[in-house]
């Protein structure tokens, strides 16, 4: 079975989309080829996003902030937007068959002590994992049902 190409989009491509990309690869790397990008890339991956995913053994240290235009000519099967702004400006990609929007608070705007900011990043990470786990489980079930029909 060919892995489905998934593009996770947010505005800055510095936190949420990278966390979702890393988590989706971890949970469903056998099913998905996963990328992330932004409509207005920040130019960096937030260090706290890297830190809180590393707590789970997911390495984002080699990720880079990318513009969605890098993927315009690719056959993307599914686009997942993780912020409202990206959902509004999301283009259609060649071959795209699915689009999902799951909005999460932007932890890059968290204020307070380092521990308060870290707690916000962890909360968003945990929320993203819960949604991605449900998505992967549903996808696996659909693949299994399709296989039974053959």
Q: In the prediction, which pLDDT does 96 show?
A: 63
Q: Looking at 90, 120, 124, 136, which residue is catalytic?
A: 90
Among 94-98, 114-118, 138-142, the minimum mean pLDDT is found in 94-98
Q: Looking at 9, 52, 83, 86, which residue is catalytic?
A: 83
The average pLDDT across 138-146 equals 90
> In CATH terms, is domain 4-149 a member of 3.40.50.1220?
no
Known active-site residue 15? no
Q: Looking at 8, 9, 10, 20, which residue is catalytic?
A: 10
Distance CA 134, CA 129 (A): 9
Domain boundaries, given as residue ranges, for the chain: 4-149
Q: In the prediction, which pLDDT does 11 show?
A: 87
pLDDT tens per residue, range 79-103: 998 987 655 665 666 566 788 989 8
pLDDT tens per residue, range 13-63: 999 999 999 999 999 999 999 999 998 899 999 999 999 999 999 999 999
pTM over 0.85: yes
The average pLDDT across 67-71 equals 90
């Amino acid at each position: 079975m060919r892995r489905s190409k998934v593009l996770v989009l947010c505005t800055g491509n510095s936190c949420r989309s990278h966390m979702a990309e890393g988590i989706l690869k971890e949970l469903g790397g056998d099913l998905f080829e996963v990328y992330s990008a932004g409509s207005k890339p920040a130019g960096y991956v937030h260090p706290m996003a890297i830190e809180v995913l590393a707590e789970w053994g997911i390495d984002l240290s080699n990720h880079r902030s990318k513009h969605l235009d890098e993927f315009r000519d690719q056959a993307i099967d599914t686009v997942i937007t993780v912020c409202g702004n990206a959902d509004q400006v999301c283009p259609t990609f060649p071959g795209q068959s699915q689009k999902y929007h799951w909005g999460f608070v932007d932890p890059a705007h968290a204020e307070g002590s380092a521990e308060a900011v870290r707690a916000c990043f962890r909360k968003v990470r945990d929320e993203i994992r819960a949604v991605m786990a449900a998505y992967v489980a549903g996808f696996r079930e659909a693949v299994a049902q399709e296989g039974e029909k053959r």
